[in-house]
Amino acid sequence: MTDRQYDVIVVGGGLVGAALALALDAAGKRVALLEGSQAAFGDLEQGWDARIYAISPANRAFLQRLDAWPGSERLGVIAAMDVRGDNGGRIEFAASDADAEALAWIAENRWLLAALWRRLAESGVTCLRGARPRALATSPLTARMELDDGRQLSAALVAGADGANSWVREQAGLSASVKPYGHSGVVANFACRLPHGDIARQWFLGEGILAWLPMAGNRISMVWSTSDPQALLELSAPALAARVAAAGGHALGELELLTPPAAFPLRLIQPDAVVAERVALLGDAAHTVHPLAGQGVNLGFQDAEQLAALLAGSRDAGDWMLLRRYQRQRREAVKTMQLGCDGLFQLFHSTLPGVPWLRNAGLSLTNRLRPLKRQLARHAIGY
Ligand SMILES: Cc1cc2nc3c(=O)[nH]c(=O)nc-3n(C[C@H](O)[C@H](O)[C@H](O)COP(=O)(O)OP(=O)(O)OC[C@H]3O[C@@H](n4cnc5c(N)ncnc54)[C@H](O)[C@@H]3O)c2cc1C
């Protein structure tokens, strides 16, 4: 017998940690959720958020099961994708290629977060906001944590969902290889003159990768992976809108800036292991990927769903065999996504002789092969 207060302490109440806490609560576990920031739902549900996610059908179903899927008036749909290379290459595929309703749904970060925290307020989860851990000690039977304000917590498992610079990862001694891309993702929302037709558009520009994602109404969200973010951030609103419209070949006519642009440094983070004694990592704490495939948070939601499913029937949520199973289960999916995104990034930034021709020819060839396109569409959906 032990004196543990909780089955699981989740550190980090971002999208992934909040989803895990709800899923574990639904499975009847005693859960504490620690979130360093104090933002209230009211603050979250203001205006348009430039940080948006393409949520896969599998993760939409997961969030719906948690009753934490935001209202439909805020959601965009990706019915098709149109991807262009830097030298005439092009591939287009649609949800219908995979006999599906949509490739993904576009949701804003703040509204997704608000939906999750609204549910948390009604759940049995002990939510500690504005709380940060100061120390973590584990033994074969228990994880003990001391908070900044001196409170002591104990649990069978500490789940680190505290983002790319994870404190839990560091405390657990889980080292990670960190590879900066030398690029930042510049995000901003725009109103567009022409209807986007629920099509996500992406351009491999040679010096960067530009994506326009369809939002509700005549709006798009941009993610521009570039080595010179400052050159975009410095522009006036009309100049930035004109620059982005031109980079996308004026595919949607004139653009008008709706949210100030923001830039995030892009890094590939790969820990050697995502579990340690009485500790498991998930979300960006466990992996980051280049946003060119828009899969970062999707991988994190799958971590949360699969970890919660593994722990659901367990008597000891920190059982080492279970943690090893979680690590094994997630390794393949995460590695495939990291290698795929990294490979594409390298391929489209290579200036080696012949490579620029090859990558464009490859796109166009794939575009003519129906079975391969079907496979791509199924992959985008997450089959
Ligand atoms: C430019 C850009 C575009 C992106 N686009 C997409 C996209 O289209 N689709 C997609 O799927 N992904 C995308 N991503 C990735 C996505 O943002 C992340 O994968 C996702 O936010 C990870 O969620 P998380 O909950 O793991 O971590 P975070 O969102 O980083 O949340 C961590 C939480 O932990 C809290 N915290 C941190 N440390 C502590 C501590 N010590 N104590 C208590 N609390 C703590 C933080 O306050 C925060 O709330 C993009 C990323 C970038 C940079």
Note the pLDDT tens digit of each residue in 227-264: 999 999 999 999 999 999 999 999 999 999 999 999 98
Mean pLDDT over residues 301-313, rounded?
Answer: 96
Does the pLDDT at position 160 exceed 60? yes
Q: Which residue, by CA, sits nearest to atom 50 of ligand 1?
A: 291
Does the pLDDT at position 73 exceed 80? no
On the CB side of 212, CA atoms within 13 Å amount to 28
Q: Report the distance separating Cα 328 and Cα 107, nearest Å.
A: 30
Mean pLDDT over residues 63-84, rounded?
Answer: 89
Alpha-helix runs per DSSP H in the chain: 15-26, 41-44, 57-65, 109-122, 167-171, 229-233, 237-247, 296-312, 320-349, 355-368, 370-381
Entry field: residues in the chain: 383
Listed residue (148, 139, 143) closest to 160, CA to CA: 143
DSSP 16-49: HHHHHHHHHHHTT--EEEEES----HHHHTSS--
Listed residue (173, 36, 57) closest to 105, CA to CA: 57
Reduce the DSSP state of residue 369 to 3 states and report it. coil
Please give the number of the atom of ligand 1 that sits closest to the Cα of 263: 1
Please give the number of the atom of ligand 1 that sits closest to the Cα of 187: 1
Listed residue (189, 63, 169) closest to 116, CA to CA: 63
Q: Report the distance separating Cα 293 and Cα 220, nearest Å.
A: 17
Give the per-residue pLDDT at 19: 98
Single pTM value for the model: 0.89
CB atoms < 10 A from the CB of 261, how many? 20
Q: Which residues sit with their C-beta closer than 6 Å to ligand 1?
A: 11-17, 34-37, 53-54, 132-133, 161-163, 167, 185, 187, 223, 264, 283-284, 291, 294-298, 300
Give the per-residue pLDDT at 296: 80
Please give the number of the atom of ligand 1 that sits closest to the Cα of 52: 8
Give the per-residue pLDDT at 1: 46
User: What separation in Å is there between the alpha carbon of 80 and the centre of ligand 1?
Assistant: 26
Reduce the DSSP state of residue 236 to 3 states and report it. coil
Listed residue (61, 101, 51, 48) closest to 78, CA to CA: 101
Please give the number of the atom of ligand 1 that sits closest to the Cα of 16: 25
